[in-house]
Amino acid sequence: MQSLYDIPAPAKLNLFLHITGRRTDGYHLLQSAFMLIDWCDTLHFALRSDGLVSREDLNVRLPADDLNVRAARALQQATGCTQGVHIGVHKSIPAQAGMGGGSSDAASSLLALNRLWNLHLSVQELSVIGLELGADVPFFLSGRHGWVEGIGERITPLPIPSLRWVVVKPDAGLDTKLIFSDPSLKRDSEPATITGFAADAFGKTNFSGFGRNDLQTVAQKLCPGVNQALHWLGGKGLSGRMTGSGSAVFAHLQHDIDVRDAPSAFQVKLCSGLDAHPLLGWANSESKMKV
């Protein structure tokens, strides 16, 4: 089948992540600044007229019912669409890294299929579907860096300079459920403000950091690789921090570094912040259809 769309699905970094409480249904309430970076998966879409959803793993074997397939079927169900798709997935973003790879793929799939199937859903309508797939999906649909609150559904666009970063993913990943179920997890951080974040994090010439990642202490107990990655960054004179709920850590680059001495088990990538999501504008601001 001829590929009709070849599109990127970018990763994100959590510049900080605070847990401010917990809902009665068990979901944790958070505050975070999400930044889009140029570490991307690539998705290929070819239209099928038989209504079936199929997927081809181009470099990494994925679960049969991964988020790309679930996103396509959820969009079919929400709209009554009878068209199908074949999706080719080339993974670059590591799994269990805290970089949102699966959620980003799902968001890019929703945006691509919304256009491929001529559904004309708005970003808001796609986000209703996306939130059922994962808490980070609405952020990737929003198209901009964001101040994220609630369980991930409250997003305020956040201007962030296009900074350079080094991202380090140790060999082992981290299971989000293990971190959030740990009794020692800090769940009572004081609420922060966008103005406070902007003044502290970007009020100087160099990124100075803001807050912390409340999940990091638990992650360091569960995954020695997190400590090893942080130690390696420290040897470069960099102050590292964990992103999201996975095992990847990152640091702001104020000078060039040599990464050739990184342990062979690490994935190390020099990244830059994106100005916006590559698919910004692929969904309408308003829609004639209602989900």
| pLDDT tens, position by position, 9-27 | 999 999 999 999 999 998 8
Distance CA 72, CA 85 (A): 8
Mean pLDDT, range 245-257, rounded to an integer: 94
pLDDT of the residue at 39:
98
Mean pLDDT, range 140-152, rounded to an integer: 95
Distance CA 232, CA 210 (A): 21
The active-site residue, picked from 91, 136, 169, 214, is: 136
pLDDT of the residue at 161:
86
pLDDT digits (tens, 9 = 90+) for 47-89: 999 999 999 999 999 999 999 999 999 999 999 999 999 999 9
Distance CA 266, CA 179 (A): 21
pLDDT of the residue at 290:
47
Rounded to the nearest integer, the mean pLDDT of the chain is: 93
Percent of the chain at pLDDT > 70 equals 94
pLDDT tops 70 at residue 167: yes
pLDDT of the residue at 189:
96
pLDDT tops 80 at residue 238: yes
Helix 123-133 and helix 101-116: axis angle, to 10°? Answer: 140
Least confident range from 173-177, 204-208, 217-221, 257-261: namely 204-208
Task: Write the CB contacts of 204 (distance below 8 Å, at least 6 apart in sequence).
Answer: none
pLDDT tops 60 at residue 205: no
Asked whether the beta carbons of 87 and 55 are under 8 A apart, the reply is yes
Closest CA to 72 of 35, 98, 41, 43: 43
pLDDT tops 70 at residue 3: no
pLDDT of the residue at 2:
58
Q: What domains are there in the chain, each with its CATH number?
A: 5-157 (3.30.230.10), 164-272 (3.30.70.890)
| Active-site residue flag, 41 | no
pLDDT digits (tens, 9 = 90+) for 253-285: 988 999 999 999 999 999 999 999 999 999 986
pLDDT of the residue at 291:
43
| Active-site residue flag, 12 | yes
pLDDT of the residue at 162:
85
DSSP string across the chain: ----EEEEEEEEEEEEEEEEEE-TTSPEEEEEEEEEEEEEEEEEEEEESS--EEEEESSS---TT-HHHHHHHHHHHHHT---EEEEEEE--SPTTSSS-HHHHHHHHHHHHHHHHTT---BHHHHHHHHHHH-TTHHHHHH-S-EEEEETTTEEEE------EEEEEE-SS---HHHHHT-TT----PPPP-HHHHHHHHHSSSS----S-BTTHHHHHHH-HHHHHHHHHHHHTT---EE-TTSS-EEEE-SS----TTS-TT-EEEEEEB-SS-TTTTSSBSS-S---
Q: Binning pLDDT at 50, 70 and 90, where does residue 4 land?
A: confident
Q: Are strands 28-48 and 5-22 parallel, antiparallel or unpaired?
A: antiparallel
pLDDT of the residue at 207:
57
Distance CA 13, CA 143 (A): 14
The active-site residue, picked from 12, 91, 169, 269, is: 12
pLDDT of the residue at 148:
96
| Higher per-residue pLDDT: 290 or 125 | 125
Closest CA to 130 of 53, 78, 55: 78
